[in-house]
Amino acid sequence: MEQKSIFSVISPIMVGPSSSHTAGAVRLGLMARNIYKNSFKKVNFVLYNSFATTGFGHGTDKGLLAGVLGYSVDDALIKDIFDNIGNSVEYSYQYAHDISRHPNSVDITFDDKMTISGDSVGAGEIRINSIDGFSVCIDGSYDTLLLMYKDRPGMISTVSEIIQKQKVNIASLHCDRSSKGGVASMYIALDIPLGEDTVDKVKKIEDVFFVTNIRKLK
């Protein structure tokens, strides 16, 4: 039986009028923060479709910024986020329409280094669907290991063996690649989080150049 998030049953307690435009925006920002992990000086948001046309009035802009800065969905400080953060981070917004994208969709770019794309799918739930152009499907319901590497035979088994030795069960595993032998990505949903020592072992695998241990959203 598929486990459902509490957000799919009742809307979350939140600051703002819309669960998809406000709570979903905060959670998208939080998940992007969990993926990028590094401190950042600049963040750009491209809001699409309904996010672009009605998001300002619903506080989507504030929610996204609050999320990447680590605020929780129910934090009362979100409504004054622009005043609260001062000049601690440079932020900007762009607005676009693309019928191929979800109505509540956003691209979040940190320091011009990594772009994370996701959707707010309703009742506060979210889905990350792209990281630097690689297809993913991360909704925050599982601890997830994400890595990027040079595509070659044996990578899946090497990573899986490291995880198996820690007696951590893999819930799902997905891969994508730019081309045969090109840049590839792998994300692995886990029943329990990996320890940092295990993550370090994955980082040391030959041809792996990016690894992040993504904690599930609460």
Are residues 129 and 157 both part of a single domain? no
Evaluate whether residue 125 is within a structural domain: yes
The confidence band for 87, taking pLDDT boundaries of 50, 70 and 90, is confident
Residue 23 CA to residue 30 CA, distance in Å, equals 11
Strand order in the sheet with 134-138: 90-96, 42-49, 104-110, 114-122, 125-131, 134-138
Q: What is the pLDDT of residue 68?
A: 96
Q: What is the DSSP letter of 207?
A: T
What's the CATH code of the domain at 17? 3.30.1330.90
pLDDT tier for residue 58 given thresholds of 50, 70 and 90:
confident
- DSSP letter at 37 equals -
For residue 11, what pLDDT band results from cuts at 50, 70 and 90? very low
**107: in domain:** yes
Residue 163 exposure: Cα atoms within 13 Å on the Cβ side: 25
State the pLDDT confidence band at 21, using cuts at 50, 70 and 90: low
Domain-embedded: residue 177: yes
Overall average pLDDT of the 124-152 stretch: 93
79 CB-contact burial (10 Å; exposed 0-12 / middle 13-18 / buried 19+): middle
Instruction: Label the pairing between strands 104-110 and 42-49.
Output: antiparallel
Q: Taking Cα atoms as reference points, which of 64, 65, 78, 66 lies closest to residue 16? A: 78
Residues 160, 82 within the same domain: no
Average pLDDT over residues 71-84: 88
Q: Examine the domain organization and report whether 60 and 113 are in the same domain.
A: yes
Number of domains observed in the structure of the chain: 2
pLDDT of amino acid 54: 85
My answer on whether 21 and 113 are in the same domain is yes
- 87, 119, 138 - which closes a domain: 138
Looking at 113, 138, 163, which one is the last position of a domain? 138
Question: Does one domain contain both 108 and 192?
Answer: no
State the alpha helices, DSSP H only, in the chain. 24-36, 50-58, 60-68, 81-85, 155-165, 196-203
Residues 120 and 147 in one domain: no
DSSP state of 23: I
The reply to whether 1 falls in a domain is no
The answer on pLDDT for 1 being more than 90 is: no
> 8: pLDDT confidence band, cut at 50, 70 and 90?
very low
pTM of the full structure: 0.85
Which residue did the predictor score with more confidence, 8 or 179?
Answer: 179
Domain that holds residue 172: 143-214
Q: Is residue 15's pLDDT more than 50?
A: no
- Claim to verify: residue 110 and residue 150 sit in the same structural domain: no
pLDDT band at residue 77, thresholds of 50, 70 and 90?
Answer: confident
Identify whether residues 105 and 168 lie together within a single domain.
no
In this predicted structure, what is the pLDDT of residue 2?
46
d(CA 117, CA 177): 17
pLDDT (mean) for 184-195:
95
Instruction: Tell me how far apart the alpha carbons of residues 126 and 122 are, in angstroms, rounded to a whole number.
Output: 7
Judged against a pLDDT cut of 70, whether residue 72 lies above it is answered with: yes
CATH of the domain at 201: 3.30.70.260
**Same-domain status, 24 and 128:** yes
**Domain identity same for 56 and 85:** yes
Residue 3 belongs to some domain of the structure: no
Tell me which of 109, 138, 167 is where a domain ends: 138
Same domain membership, residue 89 and residue 182: no
Q: Between 43 and 85, where is the model more confident?
A: 43
Same domain flag for 54 and 118: yes
- Alpha-carbon span 73 to 61, nearest angstrom: 14
Q: Evaluate whether residue 122 is within a structural domain.
A: yes
Q: Does 62 score more than 70 pLDDT?
A: yes
pLDDT at 4: 46
